[in-house]
Structure 1
């Protein structure tokens, strides 16, 4: 090692001046102003990340149109119609384009909701990668006046975790329409294969439900098979 190289490295270690690297490895000393800029940039990125993670997104999706071709079947066992299958494809693709892909899916166990989900999973990989639970009570609760919103809240809090930011609940009317209206405080109509997109602040799902209550969830939109989204 020559003398000039030794002096250069020592100078860097004792001052805050930038170093032109001639040897490897050597410490990299940044000017104080540059270090401060990097710290501010890191703080901004962290704040943006924390702000994003403090919002919860809830998709309330009514199943696609079912078939009445087989009148002997129980209502629970009715499959999708041909148009219902087409609608499920369309809505899944629209949700993907909008970036509303759930990490957790809670669904009624009726045949028409299972088939709706299966088609969506075949179309969009994100739906296939989501955690899925079939909730038998989602089928019956939808027929009970005024009980769906509270039941959805309890079930979501039971199955969710802090890392899950987007959840999709799949079910039936009149309960799904009623729950969407109660959460947002607006009168919402959900035809078959319509999805209401709701959002509320909260670092957990429990916190989001506590803070928003009934009427405090923001309606970000309603996705329908025929909407231009």
Structure 2
């Protein structure tokens, strides 16, 4: 059985309120446009999550909202806020959906993407994973509890800049 993972870093956040705790920062104008563009791209490509695992931060919540997608199961997890690759893999192992969208933060999400992929796509921005970068990976496994490093085949990688230019 094939499983699909949509791995997205949150969109560009605002620094307009310097006293605001990092966890509570919203998206800026560019971030809102980027999240919408990624959502449109996912719909056009037919990548529709049935489950979402997201950091509990304001910017990941807003990224999900601005993507304009729907899912039957959405979980905002505090443990995904600035999570390490191992913490991300642990959270993903509890997923039950066929297609899971995981929203997180750098540097963990970039490191996770690199470690979970069988091989990195030939894209100059994959390893630094800019804001709202999205990778679609497929896994040949029955359930997410069996996910291991280098198990995912990269199907697509996109950055919002490529969609908005």
TM-score, length-normalised on structure 1?
0.65
Matches within 5 A, 1:159-178: 159-160=95-96, 164-178=97-111
- Deviation by residue 1:96-136 (Cα, 9 ceiling, x = unmatched): 11111110000001111111111113xxxxx2233100000
User: Unaligned 5+ residue runs, structure 2?
Assistant: 121-125
Q: SS of the residue aligned with 2:75?
A: strand
| RMSD of aligned alpha carbons | 1.7
Match of 1:134 in 2: 76
Structure showing greater relative contact order (alpha-carbon pairs closer than 8 Å, 6 or more residues apart): 2
1:94·1:223 contact (CA, 8 Å) conserved in 2?
Answer: no
Bigger helix share = 1
Residue 94 (structure 1) aligned with residue 56 (structure 2): no
Q: SS of the residue aligned with 1:65?
A: coil
Matches within 5 A, 1:1-229: 54-121=1-68, 127-141=69-83, 147-148=84-85, 150-160=86-96, 164-184=97-117, 185-186=119-120, 188-207=127-146, 209=147, 213-227=148-162
Runs of 4+ in 1 over 4 A off after TM superposition: none
Q: Quick one: distance in 2 between partners of 1:154 and 1:128?
A: 24
* Residues 1:79 and 1:70: Cα distance change in structure 2 (over 3 Å): same
2:11·2:27 contact (CA, 8 Å) conserved in 1?
Answer: yes
Bigger strand share = 2
* Residues 1:95 and 1:131: Cα distance change in structure 2 (over 3 Å): same
User: Unaligned 5+ residue runs, structure 1?
Assistant: 1-53, 122-126, 142-146
For the pair shown, the structure with the greater C-alpha radius of gyration is 1
2:82·2:106 contact (CA, 8 Å) conserved in 1?
Answer: no
Deviates further, 170-179 or 195-204: 195-204
Aligned length: 158
Q: Quick one: distance in 1 between partners of 2:44 and 2:55?
A: 25
